[in-house]
Amino acid sequence: METSTQRLTPRSASASGGADARHSVQHAFEPEWAALDDESLLDVRLCDLGLKLAGTWLGRPIAQLQRELVAQDIRCKPHFWLSDEWFTPDGVPGVAVPFYLAHPRLAELEKTQMLEVEGGTFEWCMRILRHEMGHVIDNAYRLHRRRKWSQLFGRNANPYPEYYHPKPYSKSYVLHLDYWYAQAHPAEDFAETFAVWLTPGSKWDVRFAGWPALKKLQYIDELMASVAGKPPPVVNRERVTPLRQMRTTLREHYRKKRAKYGDVHPDFYDRDLRRLFASTAGAERGESAARFLRRVRNDLRRMVARWTGEYQYTIDQVLKEMITRCDALQLRLDRSPERTKLELSVLLTVQTMNYLHSGRHRVAL
């Protein structure tokens, strides 16, 4: 995502792990903080991590991105730096990469704190990089100033909303990252469309045949042909909020990040839980609903995250609330665990989708 300060890229579709990040290339001399336990590591400041992109596994996806640009004869050469999140600053032809991808110990901490490692696998990282490259190309060639750009995507100068209301079945937008993110803002629509166009073997002309979004893809195809072989007019190498300037501790960083992704979630009503479980009086011998939820919590969280694209951390906050309410209502199982787990996954998915459709879906600013 791009911004005059910074706009963070949203989650993209991927498995919830981060094997590549956890097995990144390690330097000959490991930093002292790599041996710390989580509690001690959380007190380290971001600027004191001393991280560099060079020598990490991130070189592979970045090199792949550069090969894809060369294949299209796009002469823009983006620069990359470490920061606290994914973002492309407004007017800068470069991409900030989150610090936790630069060392396996930090990827482990990220997963402990947020339950997943965003961009932590090669495929996931490539999806985000292609999206960010859409912003980079837009910045480098000042494409949003063109009249047809505005006609197809909207006004780039429109302010970003705090939340947006996606229309999941709309065919006016491509599908690349989760949350129907092309619908968040005209700049995101362009970046998402560019990412689909750039992806090797995407067959976008077939995949989106008959969709209004095809006109946007065809425009990107024409636009890229018009800049092919030409150096971009914007070539600054500015690095916005680089890691070395960030004096906050990891503890404070994650406190803010968890608050951001866990402060708004779907409302669960007691009646929904009573439909799934029985009161203590009606099922005295059944396992307590709270205990059952704790037992299947990880499976449910991963399953619903895969279906909806929602952050596992956000879903986990909802599950915590469900457990609390089940305890308070003294609910118990009165049917098979398999059937209950299935119905729980449906309820959790429906409530998450209601949240996404409610107009309260947060833009990652």
pLDDT tens digits along 247-302:
999 999 999 998 877 654 444 567 788 888 987 655 456 899 999 999 999 999 99
More confident residue, 88 or 10: 88
Of 224, 151, 222, give the one whose Cα is nearest residue 189: 151
Residue corresponding to tokens 């092919």: 228
337 in Cβ contact with 351 (< 8 Å): no
**Lowest mean pLDDT: which of 16-30, 164-178, 226-240, 276-290?**
16-30
Cβ proximity of 91 and 2 under 8 Å: no
- pLDDT at site 359: 44
- Listed as own residue / partner, the contacts of 72-76 with beta carbons closer than 8 Å and 24 or more positions apart are 72/198, 72/224, 72/228, 73/228, 73/229, 74/137, 74/224, 74/227, 74/228, 75/229, 75/230, 75/231, 75/232, 76/136, 76/137, 76/140, 76/141, 76/232
Assigned token pair, 10:
């949203």
The three-class DSSP label of residue 72 is coil
Tens of pLDDT along 160-188? 887 777 777 899 999 998 778 899 999 99
> Which single residue is written with the structure tokens 């009249």?
147
- Predicted confidence (pLDDT) per residue in 101-156, tens digit: 999 999 999 999 988 899 999 999 999 999 999 999 999 999 999 999 999 999 99
Evaluate whether 10 touches 109 at the Cβ level (below 8 Å): no
Write down the pLDDT at residue 107.
Answer: 97
Q: What percent of the chain has pLDDT over 90?
A: 63
Determine the average pLDDT of the residues in 295-322: 85
Which letter, b or e, does each residue of 171-204 get, where b requires 16 or more Cβ atoms within 10 Å of its Cβ? eebbbbbbbbbbbbbbbbbbbbbbbbbbeeebeb
Q: What is the DSSP letter of 97?
A: E
CA distances 242 to 1, 53, 85, 86, 164, Å, are: 16, 12, 10, 12, 29
Q: State the CB neighbour count (10 A cutoff) for residue 14.
A: 24
pLDDT score, position 169:
81
**What integer pLDDT is reported at residue 85 of this predicted model?**
95
Q: State the pLDDT at residue 365.
A: 41
CA angle 121, 125, 127 (to 5 degrees): 125
Q: What pLDDT is attached to residue 4?
A: 39
Q: How confident is the model at residue 16, as a pLDDT?
A: 47
| Mean pLDDT confidence for 326-333 | 87
Angle 183-187-192 from CA coordinates, rounded to 5°: 65
pLDDT for the residue 103? 97
What pLDDT, on a 0 to 100 scale, did the predictor assign at position 7? Answer: 45
Alpha carbons within 13 angstroms on the beta-carbon side of residue 264 total 14
**Cα distance between residue 4 and residue 312, in whole Å:** 29
- More reliable by pLDDT, 28 or 175: 175
Position 3 scores a pLDDT of: 46
**Which pLDDT score is estimated for 10?**
54
Higher pLDDT, 279 or 213: 213
Distance from the first to the final alpha carbon of the chain: 8
Strand partners, 89: 3
Residue 311: pLDDT band with limits 50, 70, 90: confident
Hey, which residues does 95 pair with through a beta bridge? Answer: 80
Q: Rank 58-67, 265-274, 353-362 by mean pLDDT and report only the highest.
A: 58-67
Question: What is the pLDDT at residue 18?
Answer: 58
Check residue 266 and give its pLDDT.
45
Q: In this predicted structure, what is the pLDDT of residue 63?
A: 97
Phi, psi angle pair for 336, to nearest 5°: -65, 145
Output the average pLDDT for the chain: 87
Select from 63, 40, 43, 44 the least CA-distant residue to 53. 63
pTM summary value:
0.77
Q: Which of the four pLDDT bands, split at 50, 70 and 90, describes residue 319? A: confident
* Nearest residue to 212 via CA among 270, 172, 170, 268: 172
Candidates 210, 163, 191, 222; CA nearest to 88 is 191
Residue 24 has pLDDT above 70, yes or no: no
User: Looking at the chain, which runs of residues are DSSP E strands?
Assistant: 2-3, 79-83, 88-89, 94-98, 163-164, 278-279, 331-332, 361-362
The one-letter code for the residue type at 336 is: S
- Distance of alpha carbon 66 from alpha carbon 43, whole angstroms: 36
Percent of the chain whose pLDDT exceeds 70 = 85
pLDDT value of residue 265:
43
What's the pLDDT at 72?
97
Answer left, alpha or beta for residue 51, where phi above 0 means left and psi between -120 and 50 means alpha.
Answer: beta
Q: Helix or strand or coil: residue 156?
A: coil
Quickly count: other Cβ atoms within 10 Å of residue 270's Cβ.
12
